[in-house]
């Protein structure tokens, strides 16, 4: 089934990115359009396109230059957006374009995989094939948000609907390593997302995680609880939360950005003065629009895996998908997964974390944290 087309010899330094061509609301057309854009920015990258060859071949054909650096790998199955992760892992799912793209990362033929498909299925397949790093229970989805003073990494963006205190601590560690690699800040500031900055507020898990983090030997500064508006302020470098809250916060922020853009363009059309104003200021508007465009911050990274897997929005367009490919190329070049593995293993050797492992450790930590609470 896996037939390669347009095989090109790759230099040892060249990257290969595996693409799930069937994932996303507007796939595969959107994927091809995204690749057309991405190719200009990454002339030395080879793309492995996994999906329905009969559909992909005619879409790719008009783009000679892209076809030269792309190979199509036929996959019979496409994972749907409403498929449960457990279904996706069954036999048919293991013939899917999503599975095959991740398999290329596992086999070492690709250095990163990108999919705009079902998040739950992508995480389940990544976990099964790539395995999590030692002492990490579950991978998390991280994304960079624009802030008043730069960018803040936020995780988890939706991979883990329910988490315990130990997992929130894992997220904090992974997020701080990611932030350090991307921004160069040696001791990134970490905040736990909560409904108030007081120690008595919030879920039990969040309060227990705060107690653990206050004592954890991490190369980061844990500042305590932060609130929703601290993300945009850039109060910290890394914001840690569960996947349910993180996903809703992200989408609410996107919705707010679109709402304001809508208000603004309506306000600009209201009078002759505002129309003239718009003519003069449209360069400024365009810069603002680019900065707030969710397509430009599209592309979340799964952290905690033995490999790089990038999740693009299900509803993304070609611009957003190309942006996710940018992230994949950066992550693969920086060997982020390996760097995190090193950092985590170093931290896990520290006294607080070496006493026990896995769930027993999580429970113990939670018990300790509970006891320490007022």
The site for a second copy (CB under 8 A) is made up of: 81-82, 84, 120, 146-148, 158, 161-162, 193-195, 198-203, 227-233, 241, 243-245, 247-260, 262-264, 267-268, 270-271, 273-274, 276-285, 287-288, 291-292
Between 185 and 278, CB nearer to a second copy: 278
Q: Return the DSSP state at 23.
A: -
Both structure tokens of 307: 């490999």
Q: Where are the alpha helices (DSSP H) in 69-183?
A: 85-88, 97-107, 119-130, 165-183
Write down the least CB distance from residue 192 to a second copy, Å: 11
Token pair of 244 as six digits:
């349910």
Q: Kindly state the smallest distance separating residue 64's Cβ from a second copy, in Å.
A: 38
Nearest to 35 by CA among 331, 320, 344: 320
Nearer to a second copy, 274 or 296 (CB): 274
Grouping H, G, I as helix, E, B as strand and the rest as coil, residue 54 is: helix
Of the two residues 132 and 147, which places its CB atom closer to a second copy in the complex?
147
Backbone angles phi, psi at 237, to 5 degrees: -85, -25
Q: State the minimum distance, in angstroms, from the CB of residue 28 to a second copy.
A: 21
How far apart, in Å, are the Cα atoms of 301 and each of 55, 85, 216, 344, 362? 28, 18, 24, 17, 24
Compute the distance between CA of residue 229 and CA of residue 110 in angstroms, rounded to an integer.
39
Q: How far is the CB of 128 from a second copy (least distance, A)?
A: 19
Q: Residue 285 CB, nearest distance to a second copy (Å)?
A: 7
Three-state secondary structure call for residue 369:
helix
In the complex with a second copy, which residue's Cβ is closer, 187 or 269?
Answer: 269
**Rounded to the nearest 10 degrees, what angle do helices 29-41 and 53-60 cross at?**
50
Nearer to a second copy, 222 or 225 (CB): 225
- Say how far apart CA 234 and CA 232 lie, in whole Å: 5
State which residue, 262 or 349, has the beta carbon closest to a second copy: 262
133 and 126 Cβ atoms separated by less than 8 Å: no
Instruction: Please state the closest distance from residue 197 (CB atom) to a second copy, in A.
Output: 9
């Amino acid at each position: 089934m896996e037939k390669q087309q347009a095989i090109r010899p790759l230099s040892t330094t060249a990257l290969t990115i595996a693409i799930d061509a069937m994932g996303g609301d507007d796939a595969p057309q959107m994927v091809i359009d995204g690749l057309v854009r991405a190719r200009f920015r990454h002339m030395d990258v080879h793309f492995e396109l996994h999906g329905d060859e009969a559909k992909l071949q005619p879409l790719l054909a008009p783009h000679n230059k892209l076809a030269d650096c792309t190979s199509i790998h036929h996959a019979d199955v496409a994972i749907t957006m409403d498929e449960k992760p457990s279904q996706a892992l069954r036999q048919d799912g293991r013939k899917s374009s999503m599975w095959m793209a991740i398999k290329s990362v596992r086999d070492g033929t690709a250095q990163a995989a990108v999919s705009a498909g079902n998040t739950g299925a992508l995480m389940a397949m990544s976990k099964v094939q790539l395995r999590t790093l030692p002492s990490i229970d579950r991978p998390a989805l991280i994304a960079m948000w624009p802030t008043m003073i730069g960018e803040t990494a936020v995780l988890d963006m939706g991979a883990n609907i329910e988490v315990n205190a130990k997992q929130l601590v894992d997220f904090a560690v992974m997020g701080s390593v990611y932030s350090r690699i991307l921004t160069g800040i040696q001791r990134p500031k970490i905040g736990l997302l909560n409904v108030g900055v007081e120690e008595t507020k919030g879920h039990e898990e969040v309060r227990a995680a705060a107690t653990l983090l206050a004592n954890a030997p991490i190369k980061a500064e844990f500042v305590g609880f932060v609130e929703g508006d601290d993300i945009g302020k850039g109060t910290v470098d890394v914001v840690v939360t569960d996947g349910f809250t993180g996903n809703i916060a992200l989408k609410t922020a996107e919705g707010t950005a679109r709402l304001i853009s809508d208000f603004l363009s309506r306000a600009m059309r209201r009078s002759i003065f505002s129309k003239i104003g718009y003519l003069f200021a449209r360069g400024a508007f365009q810069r603002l629009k680019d900065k707030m465009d969710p397509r430009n911050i599209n592309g979340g990274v799964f952290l905690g895996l033995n490999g790089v897997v990038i999740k693009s929005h299900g509803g993304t367009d070609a611009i957003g998908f190309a942006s996710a490919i940018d992230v994949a190329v950066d992550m693969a070049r920086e060997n982020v997964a390996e760097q995190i593995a090193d950092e985590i293993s170093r931290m896990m050797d520290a006294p607080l974390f070496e006493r026990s492992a896995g769930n027993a450790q999580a429970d113990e930590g939670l018990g300790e944290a509970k006891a320490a609470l007022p």
